[in-house]
Amino acid sequence: MDQSSSSLPRLFTVFSLLSLTIKIQAMDSQVSPTPFIAEQYTNDKKTHVLLAAATIKLPDIAEALCRNKNISVRILVTETAENLIAGQSLEQPVLGTLLHIDGVDAIYRDEDEWTPSWTRGGPVLHIELRKWAHILLVAPMSANTMAKMTNGIADNLLLSVIRAWDTTGVVDMGFKTQKPMIIAALDMDPCTYRHPVTEKQLKVLRDQWERSESNPKGWVTVLPPIEKNLACGDVGTGSAGSMMDWRDIVTVVQNYVAGSAQKS
């Protein structure tokens, strides 16, 4: 075999890698749109849902929400979600493909908080997302995220949005007619869910922050893990993969949207 023919496979490999790099860069430019100004969407007459879902059901949840043409969805991607939705299978497509869902307007990563580099007077992404969102749906909310939320820790984009949330409904009154809501769908193994630390944090969420008849000023809705029979014969609350069924979570959001529309 001559030298020119033996170099062909290498040449094709180089071109393939170059093509893949270009595609990834193009996808990144779509997935991480910045800067974002919430005020531009004040009068679009839609309910804004900020979706943070570290689950392979993320595409299903987004698509189901977007069937309501009065809902606009922006997806907030955590590191866990990036690992779960990375093109492994048809059920786990590349994140950028979610932008093909009519109603999904943008996808944000942690690094988008500082891309492009912030300048004085410029928009701050987590603040703009907070202003924009009528609902923040966290599905699932892990023990780690719940612990950080209840202790005021903000070490990623999602937690920064939560930490800056307008819990009074007064600050962002110019953007919304109803107090914004955080909907947290919990997912924990049985021991974690029953742990005394979890009990203490749930007490904050449910007794102090959750909206109810006794606490109409609340700003959180907690969706507990489902109960199911485990392989060992025990009944486990919050066993692995036991976040409330995604269809039921979508129904909770839809009911909240419908209720808000009637009040406005």
Domain boundaries, the chain: 33-263
Which one of 48, 126, 134, 195 is the catalytic residue? Answer: 126
Give pLDDT, residue 26: 45
Q: What is the mean pLDDT of each run of 10 residues along the chain (264 residues)?
A: 52 48 45 75 94 90 96 92 84 86 95 81 92 96 96 97 95 81 92 93 96 94 79 49 88 91 64
**What is the model's pLDDT at position 205?**
96
- Closest of 183, 187, 107, 79 to residue 140, by C-alpha: 187
pLDDT at 1: 52
Q: Is 191 a catalytic residue?
A: no
| pLDDT value, residue 129 | 97
Question: Partners of 138 in the beta sheet?
Answer: 52, 184
3-class SS of residue 51: strand
HEC profile for 57-110?
CHHHHHHHHHCCCCEEEEEECCHHHHHHCEEEECCEEEHHHHHHCCCEEEEECH
How far, in Å, CA of 89 to CA of 162, rounded? 31
Please indicate, yes or no, whether the overall pTM of this predicted structure exceeds 0.85. no
pLDDT on residue 137: 98
Any residues with CB less than 8 A from the CB of 76 and at least 6 apart, and which? 50, 51, 52, 108, 129, 157, 158, 161
Q: What is the pLDDT of residue 227?
A: 73
Tokens for 92, please give them.
């786990």
The top-level CATH class assigned to 33-263 is: alpha beta
* Tokens read off for 67: 């069937």
Distance CA 131, CA 251 (A): 24
Q: Which helix (H) or strand (E) holds 227?
A: strand 227-229
Q: In the annotation, is 232 catalytic?
A: yes
Quickly count: other Cβ atoms within 10 Å of residue 150's Cβ.
18
Please list, residue by residue across 178-193, b when 16 or more beta carbons sit within 10 angstroms of its beta carbon and e when fewer do. ebbbbbbbbbbbbebb
* Model pLDDT, residue 239: 47
For residues 132 and 112, what is the distance between their CA atoms, to the nearest angstrom? 16
